[in-house]
Structure 1
Amino acid sequence: MATLERIRNKSGLLIIVIAIGLLAFLLGDLMSSGDSIFRRRNMQIAEINGTSVSYPEYQSYVTELEDYYKLNSSSSALDENTSYQIREQAWNQMVQDFIMEEKYEDLGIAVTADEIYEMATGKNVHPQIRQMFTNPQTGMFDKAQVINFLQQKNLDPNANFYWLFLEKQIKKERLFTKYRELIKKGMFVTTAQAEAEANAKQNKVDFDFVVKRYSAVPDSTVSVSDSEVKDYYNAHKENYKQEATRDVVYVAFDVKPSEEDRQMAEEWIEKSKAEFENPETDAVQYVNMNSESNYIDRNLKFEQLGPTLQGFVQGASVDEVYGPYLENETFKLSRIVAIKQMPDSVKARHILVNDPVLADSLLALVKGGADFAKVARDNSSDQGSAINGGDLGWFAEGTMVKPFNDACFEGNKGDIVKVESQFGIHIINVQDKGKPVTKYNIATLERNITFSTKTNQQVYAQAAKFASLNNTVDKFDEAITADNLVKRYGRSIKTNDRTVNNLEHSREMVRWAFEAEMNDMSDIFEFGDAYIIAFLTGAKEEGYQSVAAVKGSIERKLLNDKKAEVLTAELNSKKQGNDIAALATGIDSEVMTASQIDFGAFQVPGAGVEPALVALATGSKAGELSAPVAGNNGVYVVKVNNVTANTTDVAAELAQLKQSNGFKVDYQATEAIRSKAEVTDERSKFF
């Protein structure tokens, strides 16, 4: 179906993005009632709010997204990174579906078939559908195209799948939009709130301040008991949630080319030279059949050649060979295929179409004297240049795809020609050509220096020997030191991490870490060009950090609170009326100054991020020494010297607060909903 092919090119790779940055959630249970409890648990990939979710149900989401991606990108296979992204997308969509379905039902939120049809053909067409069915000739949405597509889609399974997928995503988006709007309607900003916010911003103050930092009180003079730490922990336990993580140590035995491997690569290139430089040898064909990299048909200026070849081409002629030479761990031979006088750049315009009959018709039209620019504006599917009459301006060689490039640089000024590329059929008018310069076409034969099977086996044997002799953590540490190896660390590894540090394709190591016992040694992993041996050295389970784990940070917080009491008493005792300079002298400090600070200030120069200081300064009376107030780094006293009135608008503040609440709903609703859901993620059992 031609329409499907066209909209595929316009809809982007993953339409899933249309669903408001789709919330991120999960599935339901597919196992039949006859399955045993053991099988259910074995196939469980998640548990959401107490309901088991099976792997097959999750996989059905994945399969649907994979089919969509393949159809939309005209590809039959997915690389590892794309597969991972699709699995993540599927997980997020299903958590979204599972959690929100119940909320929609409770609130009576639904999307009818009439609404879907209205979003496809009505007055307020969904942006995705509008983009897909916009007429390229007019730039306008074409309702007739949509209706025609809907009438014919059942004749093409791919088109039908495509539409059903799009319809499903649009429906999900509309459901959540309704839910989100209900929340917004329930959020109200009072006039009193707006007035308070406006008043807080009404004044800017210039003030002096002094600070007595917590470090001025020795830790030895205050103490925090274990019971105080425990009480604080219990009162703030939600601050100490943790994910399940693992820590490992490992050693890498990198497989690198040996000296023998280097010599073999050099010998190969040297033996190839005689045949490669033979004038009867087709250099291009020889490179394509024997080199590590295929021949690239490009004509390069002297300045575009590397320093090595710049020295070679000066005075050289066609078929001369340079080398062997070493560059980026690759031995090379370079042969001059051609030396040409060609323009440095070309100015051209074009008309791009897909219909061969139309292309021939337009070619005859412009060759017959028709206004090229008008024909381009009326017919070219390259909208970026069509608006300028097809004008592409000046461009250097190699900028355009090869058929287009060759037609422009090898043609003559004024030529009007037709060529075909992967983008369609181009009708090109070569408008002007730059001054000719010498260009070199070079074929390069390459032989990379890579490790051999023998070298690989030798490194593996070394790793195996290390593993057999050092099968405990203590022995591992001793051997690392004795053999002058590098001990590496993988810290805070999460159950769904794809890699450990920068180890290539090391997901297997993550899975091992969550299955192993403390101080277990791994098998020998092969990641990229390295063999890895690891030990599990740390494990934290999902839940709450222990009191012992967070005791240090709690003690520091409580110590500062107690120091604040000591410093507050000291500052009060040293006050001499409203004389801030005398206070500074009394506490062995200095007076600092800040200007034009209002209630919305993020930080204070000389103090840093100190919300308490900002509030103290903007809330104090001018000319009076304030009471001491504890901040992040110490206890502060201020004296306001000057207050500058700001013009504030309560109505504008009210509107801004309402808008701010709307933004919060848009960007925080997802996180708020997820934080209340009980989701157990067991994907690591399967991936």
Structure 2
Amino acid sequence: MALINKIREKSGVAVTVIAISLILFMVGGDLLGPNSILGGNSNQTVGEIAGKEINIKDFQTRVDGFRQNYEAQSGRSLNENELASLRDQAWNQFIVDIAYKKQFDKLGLAVTDDELVDMVQGNHISPSILQAFSDPTSGRFDKSAVINYLKNLKTLPVEQQKSWTSFETSLREERIRSKYENLLKLSTYIPKAQAEKEYIAQNTKATTRYLYVPYFSIVDTTIKVTDSQLESYLSAHRSEYKGTDTRSIEYVSFPVQPAKDDSTALYNEIKELARGLATAQNDSSYAKMNSDIPLPMNMSLANMSDQLKEAVKSFVPGGVYGPYREGNTYFIYKYDGTRTDTVSSAKASHILIRAENQSDSAKAAARVRAEGILAQIRAGANFEALAATSSADPGSAQRGGDLGYFQNNGAMVKPFEEAVFSASAPGLIPRLIESQFGFHIIKVTATKNNTLYRIAAIGKTIAPSQATRDEAYRKADEFANSVKTKEQFDAAVKKDKGLVVATANRIPESATNINAIQNGREIVRWAFKEDSKINSVSQVFETEEQYIVAVLTGKSDQDNVKVDDFRDELTTKVRNELKAEQITAKLKGATGDLETIAKKYGAGALIETANDISLATGFLTSAGFDPIALGKVFGLKAGQKTGVFTGENGVFIMELINKTDAPKIADFTQNKTQLTQSLESRSSYLVNEAIRENAKIVDRRAKFF
């Protein structure tokens, strides 16, 4: 019986693995919100795939089947996120059954019963069976366990029999998908001419000088863009701007924050807990039983809060300390001394300089820039200020490069970790450290420490009382009832200085979160309701620890693309076109060498040199990767100069200094192999996109859940 339960457990894992594999093959995970068929929706079609309508009842039946199987395997009910994931799995199964099956049938692909038997207990065992029936200790597969399980299948509970049937169905789907995918990969072909062209693009090198006037050299505010210009640009580039159904809102939040009385009550409670912790026979058990949040018994400096790092310096073994408040949580600590750990902690700051791309020239440029910053710091420049303005790590840059404490257990990349933990004293590491992320300039602020502090900790979070919640709702409800239009909404916000308006633009219909608001599905559903008009105000929504009142400020329609749907992007494009015209007019007709032309143009014209660039990965210092400029320069002969032309980010005149042709080779097999592997790795994704596009999928799930 124990073996059967074990197999049941494993087969459930295998079903999940196969299902996830299938989903990833198709589209990946795209979670939906809570299930709710409300609002009197008369259209009971949840979607359409390849001309076939999917009724909500059929869809829900499949979701229920997945849920029953999942709950039978896990032994518990699903949470909302898990249920949303199963709905997504059910939808993708419909896509397989309808759109993919058409492709499978056209190619005559199938998995016969004999093939299934061979996959389960024959000579070509499925990887999923191998995983489900292998010994977890030794990893050895036991075919007899599979056979015995199948012999006893009819004696097992009905739910387990259903589970096995579902498992076998997944095996068939996995195999036919694998056949289809392999067929596509094996049909990939790269001709010699293409391999040769790629080889030449990668290995032909050029040195160029160029005049470059970037768009940003002209101040945006000096270029006026009209709505008619935006309309004209959109009309000419309609295919580049795909419409989507989205909504934009503004909203105010009425947070449910603990009141003074709530804080006082908790403070008194934790003082009682402190007395109990001081006299507890087993302080770790007492702390674990009474803490709202799990806290480790042995803490290094790396996992202590800043407040505790300072406080622990004065702790005496046996003492109870606190309460300390951090946000809405009070902490008390009982200290029981220290011990030495095998893992060390250290603290450091860094400035990260990344290359623009993976080309040698880009890496060289990044190294030069990093060495320049390091030289400035060694000469006395402020590390924190340079980190804030120069580091490519946004998380630490805003803290002056500070990474806080971390351990030498792989938390940081190896070169970085080795440099920090080999430092014998705090201070600047006088060399660049290179990792896969770029070049690091590192300042060690606390050298390695392998001390562990034994601390029994209790954390109690202040929870708002019902009276506090009621008061927050009363304010939100009073606000919502006093405003009916956007104009009234704005006036009420202006009158109440405590309210702050937040904006959420282009919210998709399937969204579950809005900015930092979790579980905002009901707000999204309100915004997409047919009777929600522009400038109308919502009712009060409750989301976690706050109440929300929103006003609908914008709509976009996938079948009717408007300028306002892409106003910022279109404005940038049109403004750059106008700048290009202005720059070109000023440069046109200029004669002489590049320096003479730049001098005549005036401020904003840059003269730069790019050495040994290739057509495939060429990088221009200030302009970055500009395929138009690269194409122009590789079409020149040595000593030739282009006319004025517009690139990706500015206006150019290119001059070719010299060009070294790629060395002649007779065998392009390696190049063909690289291109083939690259194409094979993308084939599954590309064909999936083609199948989905051809199926003309209409997904209306967001109207029901």
SS in 1 for 2:688: helix
Matched, 1:91 2:91: yes
Letter in 2 for 1:475: Q
Q: Distance in 2 between matches of 1:190 and 1:636?
A: 35
Percent identity, aligned pairs only, is 29
Q: Is residue 644 of structure 1 aligned with residue 654 of structure 2?
A: no
SS in 2 for 1:663: helix
Q: Is the 8 A contact 2:250 2:553 kept in 1?
A: yes
Matched, 1:502 2:516: yes
User: In structure 1, what is the Cα distance between the partners aligned to 2:263 and 2:644?
Assistant: 73
1:470 aligns with 2:483: yes
Opposite residue 455 of structure 1, the aligned amino acid is T
Is residue 216 of structure 2 the alignment partner of residue 203 of structure 1? no
- Per the alignment, residue 62 of structure 1 pairs with 63
Asked whether the 8 Å contact 2:297–2:457 carries over to 1, the reply is no
Instruction: Could you tell me which runs of 5 or more consecutive residues in structure 1 were left unpaired when the two chains were aligned.
Output: 27-38, 347-436
SS where residue 555 of structure 2 aligns?
Answer: strand
For 1:208, what is the secondary structure of its paired residue? strand
Change (3 A) 1:261 1:104: same
Name the larger-Rg structure: 1
Q: Unpaired segments of 5 or more residues in structure 2? A: 30-39, 343-450
- The CA deviation at 1:458 is 2.0
Shift of 1:532: 1.5
Matches within 5 A, 1:329-408: 329-330=328-329
Paired position in structure 1 for 2:504: 490
Per the alignment, in what secondary structure is the counterpart of residue 262 of structure 2?
Answer: helix
Aligned to 1:373: none
Amino acid of the residue matched to residue 15 of structure 1? I
Q: Tell me the residue number matched to 1:355.
A: none
Aligned residue type for 2:485: T
Structure 1 residues 324 and 624: CA distance shift in structure 2, 3 A: closer
| 1:521 equivalent among 500, 512, 537 | 537
Tell me what 2:194 maps to.
193
2:114 is matched with 114
Q: Which has the higher contact order (CA 8 A, sep 6+)?
A: 2
Residue of structure 1 in register with 2:674 after alignment: 656
Paired residue secondary structure (1:613): helix
Q: Is the 8 A contact 1:25 1:99 kept in 2?
A: no
Among candidates 530, 534, 543, match of residue 550 of structure 2: 534
- Tell me: CA distance 1:472–1:321, structure 2 relative to 1, closer, same or farther (3 Å): same
Kindly report which structure 2 residues correspond to 1:267-282, keeping only aligned pairs within 5 A, or say none: 267-268=268-269, 276=276
Within the candidate set 630, 633, 636, 1:614 is matched to 630
- Cα–Cα, structure 1 residues 296 and 332, in superposed 2: closer, same or farther, change >3 Å? closer
Measure the CA separation in 1 of the matches of 2:670 and 2:324: 71
2:677 alignment partner AA: Q
Alignment partner of 1:96: what SS? Answer: helix
Query: 1:80-479, aligned counterparts within 5 Å?
Result: 80-136=80-136, 139-156=139-156, 157-184=158-185, 186-212=187-213, 233-234=234-235, 236-268=237-269, 276=276, 291=290, 293=292, 306=308, 314=316, 316=318, 329-330=328-329, 448-479=461-492
Instruction: Report the Cα distance in structure 2 between the residues aligned to 1:295 and 1:571, rounded to whole angstroms.
Output: 67
Deviation digits for residues 532-589 of structure 1 (CA, Å, limit 9, x no counterpart): 211212112222412575578667656766876786687673345xx54445455554
8 Å CA contact 1:622, 1:642 repeated in 2: yes
Correspondence for 2:25: 22
Mapped to 2, the partners of 1:665 and 1:17 lie a distance apart of 19
The amino acid of 1:314's aligned partner reads: V
Contact 1:504–1:528 (CA under 8 A) maintained in structure 2 = yes
How far is 1:655 from its partner?
2.7
- Residue 681 of structure 1 aligns with which residue? 699
Residues 43-90 of structure 1: CA deviation (Å, up to 9, x unaligned): 211122332211122223322332333344x33111222222222222
Are the aligned partners of 2:200 and 2:662 in contact in 1 as well (CA < 8 Å)? Answer: no
More moved, 238-247 vs 188-197: 188-197
Q: Is the 8 A contact 1:11 1:128 kept in 2?
A: yes
| Residues 592/324 of structure 1: CA separation in 2 closer, same or farther (3 Å cut) | closer
Contact 1:19 1:169 in 2 (8 A): no
Q: CA deviation at 1:42?
A: 3.0
Partner of 2:400: none
Q: Which amino acid aligns with 1:149?
A: Y
Match of 2:420 in 1: none
Distance in 2, matches of 1:244 and 1:611, equals: 33
Q: Aligned-pair distance for 1:297?
A: 11
- Cα deviations by residue, 1:320-356 (Å, 9 ceiling, x for unpaired): 87666656545567779xx79x98679xxxxxxxxxx
Deviation, structure 1 residue 597: 0.7
Q: Secondary structure at the match of 1:662?
A: helix
Provide the C-alpha distance between the structure 1 equivalents of 2:518 and 2:311, rounded to a whole number of angstroms. Answer: 35
Q: Distance in 1 between matches of 2:643 and 2:455?
A: 81
User: Which piece of structure 1 moves more, 600-609 or 560-569?
Assistant: 560-569
Q: 1:573 to 1:78 in 2, by over 3 A?
A: same
State the secondary structure of the residue aligned to 1:241: coil
Q: Is the alpha carbon distance of 1:68 and 1:594 closer, same or farther for their aligned partners in structure 2, counting shifts above 3 Å?
A: same
Residue identity opposite 2:660 in structure 1? T
> Distance in 2 between the 1:75 and 1:644 partners?
68
Matched AA of 2:528: F
In structure 2, what is the Cα distance between the partners aligned to 1:132 and 1:636?
62
Paired letter, 1:653: N
Q: Residues 563-574 of structure 1: matches in 2 within 5 Å?
A: 573-574=589-590
**Aligned mates of 2:485, 2:550 — CA distance in 1:** 10
Taking a change above 3 Å as real, the CA distance of residues 524 and 575 of structure 1, as seen in their structure-2 partners, is same
- Taking structure 1 as reference, are residues 600 and 268 closer, same or farther at Cα in structure 2, changes over 3 Å only? closer
CA change 1:23–1:602 in 2 (3 A) is farther
Cα distance in 1, alignment partners of residues 628 and 113 from structure 2: 55
Report the Cα offset of residue 679 of structure 1: 2.0
Distance (Å, rounded) in 2 between the aligned partners of 1:293 and 1:129: 42
Q: Is the 1:629–1:635 Cα contact (8 Å) retained in structure 2?
A: yes
Shift of residue 495, structure 1, vs aligned partner? 1.0
- Matched residue, 1:429: none
Shift of 1:656: 2.6
Name the CA shift for 1:79/1:20 in 2 (closer, same or farther; >3 Å): closer
| In 2, Cα distance between equivalents of 1:229 and 1:112 | 58
Quote the residue 2:385 is aligned against: none
Name which of structure 1's ranges 59-68 and 504-513 shifts more when overlaid on structure 2: 59-68
2:10 is aligned to 7
In the TM superposition, residue 594 of structure 1 has moved relative to its aligned partner by 0.5
> More displaced, 482-491 or 324-333?
324-333
In structure 1, the partner of 2:648 is: 632
CA contact (8 A) 1:622 1:641 kept: yes
Whether the 8 Å contact between 2:215 and 2:576 is mirrored in structure 1 is: yes
Alignment partner of 2:470: what SS?
helix
Report the secondary structure of 1:624's partner residue.
coil
Deviations 1:310-329 (A, max 9, x none): 5897375xxx8766665654
Aligned amino acid, residue 261 of structure 1: D
For residues 166-221 of structure 1, give each alpha carbon's deviation from its aligned partner in whole angstroms, at most 9, with x where no partner exists.
Answer: 32223223323333344445554333323333333342011111235568899999
CA drift at 1:498: 0.9
Residues 25, 685 of structure 2: 8 Å contact kept = no
CA distance in 1, matches of 2:139, 2:285: 47
- Letter in structure 1 aligned against 2:679: N
Letter in 2 for 1:62: V
Aligned to 1:360: none
Distance 1:662 1:343, change over 3 A: closer
Offset at residue 505 of structure 1 (A): 2.1
